[in-house]
Structure 1
Amino acid sequence: MAKLTVGIIGAGRIGRLHAEHLSRNAQVEIRMISDVFVSDELSAWAEGLGISRVTSDYKEIMQDQDIQAVFICSSTNTHVPFITEAAQAGKHIFCEKPISLDYRQTMEALQAVEQAGVLLQTGFNRRFDHNFKRVRELVQGGKIGQPHLIKITSRDPAPPSHDYVKVSGGLFMDMAIHDFDMARYVSGSEVVEVYAQGAVLVDPVIGELGDIDTAVISLKFANGALGVIDNSRKAVYGYDQRVEVFGSEGSVCTNNDFPNTAEISTQNGIYRDNPKFFFLERYHESYIDETAQFIASILNGEKVPVDGHDALQAEKIAFAAKTSLLEGRPVKLTEVQ
């Protein structure tokens, strides 16, 4: 069985998640993991996964000629230089979203990837969700005819910390960027115009930090369809993730995932449990599938399922949305050059 040797940069929540999934993949050997904060706890955790080396210097991963692929799970401001270094070292790359907070820097990273001839997959894990994949399959198969309306609801159960908000790039780049990618994915068409409205209705400190916590974003697609995305940083009942595509011959929609399908009916009403609480629970299987497909793409010499172009387009839509919010007008994607 062919095996791929990988290194992981960043041992925070998402880096550890990927490491744990990769450690169960028989086609993967995790050679090394790096993080700026190396502790006894991190070393013990890594040892438990069979990772032989933990380092505070990511360059050791870049310089290790036996490492064939790098997972970049560090802070967003490091993504572009790390992608560039990994590409120049001839390593395939998996990078968490967004590649950068400035799409022009992302373009520079993608140029380095193209010049090196390596693969780059970006972490839009929702594409691998069983519900959303089925929506896309049905739309692409013509089951609902020509798409007319795309509706996406994406609401977190609780707002992020204020320290995170400061460095997140804002709601459009941090949160809604998944929805911008999902809009392209399920519609099968590019976004050509964006109009965004936002408010601070959840946490006033988020507004003081220059961001919003509630948004409605209208989209126009190249195929003529219209779209709307609604975002909130706080849904008190749990993680709210829904999609609907309405077309000339019908519609397809997918609702939230629940821990179970049990319902209790009494004289006071009909009840069921709240949706799965947050993204690690809701998208557990999709995280496994995205890394497995990245590994398979390398070993089989195939294209990755979601690449740098997809990341760039989502970032451009996010930039257009921010511009629209600030200027109070629709923004065409042709303006984002």
Structure 2
Amino acid sequence: MKKLSIGIIGAGRIGKIHADNLLRLPGVEVSIVADLFADDALQEWANARGIAQVTKNSDDVIKHPEVDAIFICSLTDSHVPLIQAAAQAGKHIFCEKPISMDIHQTKAAIEAVKAAGVKLQVGFNRRFDHNFKRVREWVEEGKLGDPHIIKITSRDPNPPQENYIEKSGGLFMDMAIHDFDMARFLSGSDVVEVFARGAVLVDPVFAKYGDVDTAITTLTFSNGAIGVIDNSRQAVYGYDQRVEVFGSKGSVSANNDFPNTAEISTSEGIYRDKPLHFFLERYNEAYIEETRKFIESLRNDTEIPATGNDGYQAELIALAAKLSHRLGKPVRIAEALQLAEEVRV
């Protein structure tokens, strides 16, 4: 089996996670890592993993003659030019979400990938969660009949720092985009209309940047189903990640993951530990699985499980949600791009 050589651009927390997950897989090597702030500490980290080269220049990764695929884990505003350059160099691409903050730029990146005939996977890791994947399988198998209602709860344990809020793109693009993708994934249908309401209830710092920290988004799907997503930047009891699909033949739900299944019952009540507190704990296995699936699709030339179009559609829903929140009315997906030009979102 020929070894697949991987390059990584962006060696922050998520880039390092992907590197470690790649190195778990047989027949895979990480040949080079690029990061603008590469230093002795990063070199030491790479040496401990047998990664041959560390550089500050992303071009070194793109032009590396042995690299088959590139993981783009850098800042969002660098994604599109890196995708375009990697595609032109004939490299397959894994890119963290979102592809960009500009839907037109995202489309340009996808067109570059298509023209080059390479594969692009977007980092929607929740598709690979063991619970959510099983919900999708039951929907696909027809166990629930026709989906009628999709409910998604997604609440972070703590709000991000102000310097992150300033550049995040807002709750709908940064946080809820995972849920917009999950809604399409679970329903098996595209979204045709979005109605979103948001508020600042956690920390006034969000208002400073024209953002919200609490939101309800309702979705109408092309198959007639209705979706409801609730988001909060702060759930004091931990990372709250739940879904439910209700259909004509029944319903299926997936609840939070907990550090254990122990439960104590006393005269004072029944108690158990809080849900897993951090997204890296909650979705650790999902990160591993999405990496494995990407490598598998390269080896077997099979379909990518989270495509560039999936990234585009989730961004389009996020754009419609931002518009809906600002305008106070439902926004049809087909009208979102034109409406965005008129109101300059």
Tell me the TM-score normalised to structure 2 length.
0.97
- RMSD over equivalenced CA pairs, Å: 0.7
Matching of residue 144 in structure 1 with residue 137 in structure 2: no
In structure 2, the residue matched to 1:300 is 300
In structure 2, the residue matched to 1:64 is 64
Residue identity opposite 1:281 in structure 2: E
Rounded to whole Å, the distance in 1 between the matches of 2:139 and 2:66 is 42
In structure 1, the residue matched to 2:120 is 120
CA contact (8 A) 1:2 1:299 kept: no
How big is the shift at 1:2?
A: 2.8
Matches within 5 A, 1:76-87: 76-87=76-87
Residue by residue over 1:234-290, the C-alpha shift from the partner in whole angstroms, topping out at 9 and shown as x without a partner, is 000000000000111110001000010000111111100000111100000010010
CA contact (8 A) 1:135 1:254 kept: yes
Residue by residue over 1:177-199, the C-alpha shift from the partner in whole angstroms, topping out at 9 and shown as x without a partner, is 00000000000010000000000
Residue identity opposite 1:118 in structure 2: V
Matches within 5 A, 1:91-170: 91-170=91-170
> % of aligned pairs identical?
63
1:99 match: secondary structure: coil
Rounded to whole Å, the distance in 2 between the matches of 1:175 and 1:90 is 31
Rounded to whole Å, the distance in 2 between the matches of 1:145 and 1:283 is 29
Rounded to whole Å, the distance in 1 between the matches of 2:21 and 2:249 is 40
In structure 1, the residue matched to 2:259 is 259
Rounded to whole Å, the distance in 1 between the matches of 2:34 and 2:304 is 24
In structure 1, the gaps of 5 or more residues are: none
How big is the shift at 1:108?
A: 0.3
In structure 2, the residue matched to 1:35 is 35
Matches within 5 A, 1:1-337: 1-337=1-337
How big is the shift at 1:135?
A: 0.4
How big is the shift at 1:11?
A: 0.5
Residue by residue over 1:296-323, the C-alpha shift from the partner in whole angstroms, topping out at 9 and shown as x without a partner, is 1111111211110000000000000000
Residue by residue over 1:86-139, the C-alpha shift from the partner in whole angstroms, topping out at 9 and shown as x without a partner, is 000000000000000011110000010000000000000000000001001111
CA contact (8 A) 1:94 1:123 kept: yes
In structure 2, the gaps of 5 or more residues are: 338-345
Displaced runs of 4 or more, over 6 A: none
Report which stretch shifted further, 227-236 or 294-303: 294-303
1:336 match: secondary structure: helix
Rounded to whole Å, the distance in 2 between the matches of 1:297 and 1:146 is 30
CA contact (8 A) 1:23 1:50 kept: no
CA contact (8 A) 1:34 1:58 kept: yes
Rounded to whole Å, the distance in 2 between the matches of 1:233 and 1:326 is 19
Aligned length: 337
Rounded to whole Å, the distance in 2 between the matches of 1:250 and 1:320 is 30
Residue by residue over 1:150-171, the C-alpha shift from the partner in whole angstroms, topping out at 9 and shown as x without a partner, is 0000000000111011111100
Rounded to whole Å, the distance in 2 between the matches of 1:244 and 1:94 is 29
1:264 match: secondary structure: strand
How big is the shift at 1:336?
A: 2.6
Rounded to whole Å, the distance in 1 between the matches of 2:41 and 2:329 is 50
Residue identity opposite 1:299 in structure 2: R
